Amino acid sequence: MDGFSASGSFVDRFAVLHPGNVRALAAGGINGLPIFPIESYQKLSLPFPLGVADLKSLVGVPFDADSYRRVSQYLYMGALDDNDTFPHSDAWDDDERVLIAKLFGCKMMPDRWTRSQKIISGLDLPIQTVTYRCAGHDPEPALDDVVAFFNANNGDEPKTITPHQCP
């Protein structure tokens, strides 16, 4: 699966809900805030779509961590991206915004994205995160890398790629 911006968030969330149906995904422009496949962070509960704490009560089944571990992921942001949904009530409710601000930061780039990358790197999952220095809210700089990522992950074993960087 592949998506950018709102469709990137959809792809990211779909993999948490249906990990047995996804082999690999690429998601970009995701507000510096992917869904975290954990129930809590810094002793605070992470409800969906920030985490998976309440997944069973929402969808009737618990988070399938075993299947999720087999989903190769390529998550990316542009360093110049300023298209942030954080302040908008159609994307986050007040409780979610308070939690986001407290745990991950109000400023998307670089604060929230840097924090997200740090959290992800500690999860021992096949999730590769990339920041494109010259990009804003635009999937174009990542297109060749996304194709390379899917080609590398055409088999059963998760693989990372070496992404290009802007001049």
User: Three-class SS of residue 54?
Assistant: coil
Which DSSP helix (H) or strand (E) runs through 130?
A: strand 127-132
What pTM was computed for the model? 0.96
Give 69-78 pLDDT, tens digit per residue. 999 999 999 9
User: Which pair of tokens denotes residue 74?
Assistant: 């390529």
Three-class HEC string of 57-106: HHHCCCCCHHHHCCCEEEEEEECCCCCCCCCCCCCCCHHHHHHHHHHCCC
At the topology level of CATH, where does 2-152 sit? Rossmann fold (3.40.50)
Domain ranges of the chain: 2-152
pLDDT score recorded for residue 165:
84
158's tokens: 């998760």
Number of other CB atoms surrounding residue 28 within 10 Å:
29
Mean pLDDT for all residues in the chain: 96
- 29 pLDDT higher than 90: yes
Give dist(CA 16, CA 19) in Å, integer.
6
Please say whether the beta carbons of 161 and 73 come within 8 A. Answer: no
Give the pLDDT score at 148: 98
